[in-house]
Chain A
């Protein structure tokens, strides 16, 4: 009989192999097979971010496991649940103040880099610090022939040290990127999925290094790095693999070219 840990590992491995384009169905199938893993799976498997509108403020917010309580979701703008809950989990008053400022800061960050889209920040208390989920979603212009969507899911763990003069930050970031086209020459082309990276850092805590500044810098650096990696993998690596499957020019020409290149190299080598 398999134990739950082994089953969780198997489910996570499966989620890395099944087409990410069907992530929601894959996850619900895994949960159907092992219902006891439901909470663990919902907490550890990232899903494309869904959107709800906060009826009080009219602003959109993003949904994830961290602002969910039962079947309700908490809005970072009004700090209330939809559908309403009388006793839904909310951050402490002090943390809620930080959460309001964090949302404002990330909102500006989002505007500067994404020029549109939606962001949400959710914080929760830990024993010696706090944790947070920073989410960003940007959907490409729907009128063009190529559809794209970007989802950022950052989870940060903050441990305060040295009487509040230092803090240890651990950031786990998942970026989901989806691109689809339907053009005559290439038929349907669906390129999608996600990458995950982690980073840990110690930073001082003072006037010019507040939690929001420290976390913001970590996220900015991580997203910039991952944007480059996404570019390399999506548009470089996967394209190279297609090229490995079928050659655009006859293979006999390819080997002729390689032969000529080698002869040139040998000649140039001899002349030095």
Chain B
């Protein structure tokens, strides 16, 4: 098993490490990076592309960061500019994120211009912020606004997580809502994701995802649309969570039971001497 032909090259090894990072459960990317580095055992290959991989991962995880003492913002692909800086549409600040210091650096004020989208963005931002406070114990939201041809595209991202590594579990919720305003109607499309990892003497993970879509047929004002969006988001997210709990119920009362009984039909544990006697009897009878 030591053919050098079978061995993979440095590029392929780096790709594997980036793949590990991409699949790190919420709250555990530092552990995954540490383990990967030890396995790779080659710091030059390791350093190449590691920051990009980590940044991509945290963007997909909607990592919440503090852009100042009062305001949290999510790191997402929507907020990443071509120059490598992230934007916070609410405060108008832009910044770089230092992944080793785990903080926002090079912060600049007044560097975000949402154009015609701003009036729509700020109303939806206000409605979503209020919604997140109502339902998410530690939730953070970031709402982006952009122009797309004649349409306005508002993207609302919501994140909440709970990390408890001392108890061997972590969990995260992400929702991403895209509101496309075209003329005087709008479509609202959402992707909802939940991930939970439990790892005391084992490795158990819940990975769940749902897509939803609806229309707001007549849009009369920014405030009216924001209210309609908030109602839809609340309805869909509630339905999804209720659906997840319903599944838990079915899984435990039906599917799990059908895999292995608690006790045999006899309602007593097995008499292991009888089992052997029966089998030996079968053997003798069969010969």
Q: Which residues of A contact B (CB under 8 A)?
A: 1-2, 6-7, 10-11, 13-22, 26, 29-30, 32-35, 38, 101, 104-105, 108-109, 112-115, 138, 140-141, 144, 146-150, 177, 179, 181, 183-197, 208, 210, 212-213, 216-217, 220, 223-224, 227, 230-231, 233-235, 237-239, 241-242, 244-248, 250-252
Query: Given A20-B204, A21-B205, A179-B255, does the pair A105, B39 have CB atoms closer than 8 Å?
Result: no
Query: Given A189-B208, A213-B273, does the pair A17, B203 have CB atoms closer than 8 Å?
Result: yes
Instruction: Identify the closest chain A residue to B131 (Cβ).
Output: A250
**Stretch in B66-74, B119-127, B258-266 with 4+ CB within 8 Å of A:** B258-266
Whether B24 is near chain A, meaning CB under 8 Å from some CB there, is yes
Could you say which residues of chain B place their CB within 8 Å of the CB of A1?
41
Whether B194 is near chain A, meaning CB under 8 Å from some CB there, is yes
Could you say which residues of chain A place their CB within 8 Å of the CB of B279?
101, 104-105, 108
Bound complex: CA of A20 vs CA of B273, how far in Å? 38
| Cβ A186 vs Cβ B32 within 8 A | no
Q: Which residues of B contact A (CB under 8 A)?
A: 1-2, 6-8, 12-13, 16-17, 19-20, 23-25, 28, 31-32, 34-36, 38-41, 133-137, 139, 160-162, 169, 171-173, 192, 194, 196-199, 201-211, 237-248, 250-252, 254-256, 258-266, 269-270, 272-273, 275-276, 278-280, 282-283
- Beyond A113-B261, A179-B251, A189-B206, 15 additional contacts (C-beta under 8 Å) are A7-B39, A20-B203, A22-B23, A33-B16, A141-B258, A149-B259, A179-B256, A192-B204, A195-B202, A223-B260, A234-B251, A235-B251, A247-B136, A248-B238, A251-B133
Bound complex: CA of A147 vs CA of B193, how far in Å? 20
Partner of A238, one of B206, B238, B255: B206
Interchain nearest-CB distance for B115 vs A (Å):
33
Interchain nearest-CB distance for A46 vs B (Å):
10
Instruction: Identify the closest chain B residue to A234 (Cβ).
Output: B204
| Cβ B255 vs Cβ A144 within 8 A | yes
| Cβ B23 vs Cβ A190 within 8 A | no
Interchain nearest-CB distance for B181 vs A (Å):
26
| Cβ B241 vs Cβ A231 within 8 A | no
Could you say which residues of chain A place their CB within 8 Å of the CB of B266?
112
| Cβ A32 vs Cβ B198 within 8 A | no
Could you say which residues of chain A place their CB within 8 Å of the CB of B264?
112-113
Interchain nearest-CB distance for A153 vs B (Å):
12
Interchain nearest-CB distance for B169 vs A (Å):
6
Query: Given A112-B264, A112-B270, does the pair A190, B208 have CB atoms closer than 8 Å?
Result: yes
Could you say which residues of chain B place their CB within 8 Å of the CB of A224?
262-263, 269
Bound complex: CA of A108 vs CA of B282, how far in Å? 12
| Cβ A146 vs Cβ B203 within 8 A | no
| Cβ B247 vs Cβ A233 within 8 A | no
Instruction: Identify the closest chain A residue to B204 (Cβ).
Output: A193
Query: Given A11-B39, A105-B276, A231-B252, does the pair A113, B260 have CB atoms closer than 8 Å?
Result: yes
Bound complex: CA of A245 vs CA of B164, how far in Å? 12
Interchain nearest-CB distance for A199 vs B (Å):
13
Partner of B135, one of A38, A217, A244, A250: A250
The 6 closest A-B pairs by CB, nearest first: A187-B210, A185-B243, A186-B243, A193-B204, A195-B202, A235-B252
Partner of B20, one of A18, A114, A115, A150: A18
| Cβ B171 vs Cβ A193 within 8 A | no
| Cβ A195 vs Cβ B204 within 8 A | yes
Partner of B251, one of A104, A146, A244: A146
| Residue picked from B32, B194, B204, B264, most chain A C-beta under 10 Å | B204
Could you say which residues of chain A place their CB within 8 Å of the CB of B242?
185, 248
Could you say which residues of chain B place their CB within 8 Å of the CB of A186?
208, 210, 240, 243-244, 246-247
Partner of B171, one of A29, A192, A208, A242: A242
Instruction: Identify the closest chain A residue to B258 (Cβ).
Output: A140
Could you say which residues of chain B place their CB within 8 Å of the CB of A22?
23
| Cβ B243 vs Cβ A19 within 8 A | no
| Cβ B39 vs Cβ A17 within 8 A | no
| Cβ B240 vs Cβ A185 within 8 A | yes
Could you say which residues of chain B place their CB within 8 Å of the CB of A187?
192, 208-211, 240, 243
| Cβ A10 vs Cβ B39 within 8 A | yes
| Cβ B32 vs Cβ A32 within 8 A | no
| Cβ A146 vs Cβ B254 within 8 A | yes
Could you say which residues of chain A place their CB within 8 Å of the CB of B136?
245-247
| Cβ B35 vs Cβ A13 within 8 A | yes
Instruction: Identify the closest chain B residue to A105 (Cβ).
Output: B275
Can you pick out 14 interface pairs between chain A and chain B where the beta carbons lie within 8 Å of each other?
A: A6-B38, A10-B35, A148-B255, A177-B259, A186-B210, A187-B192, A212-B276, A238-B204, A242-B241, A245-B172, A248-B242, A248-B245, A250-B134, A250-B135
Partner of A20, one of B134, B205, B247: B205
Could you say which residues of chain A place their CB within 8 Å of the CB of B248?
235, 239
| Cβ B204 vs Cβ A244 within 8 A | no
Query: Given A146-B250, A245-B194, does the pair A213, B272 have CB atoms closer than 8 Å?
Result: yes
Bound complex: CA of A26 vs CA of B265, how far in Å? 39
| Cβ A19 vs Cβ B205 within 8 A | yes
Bound complex: CA of A150 vs CA of B259, how far in Å? 7
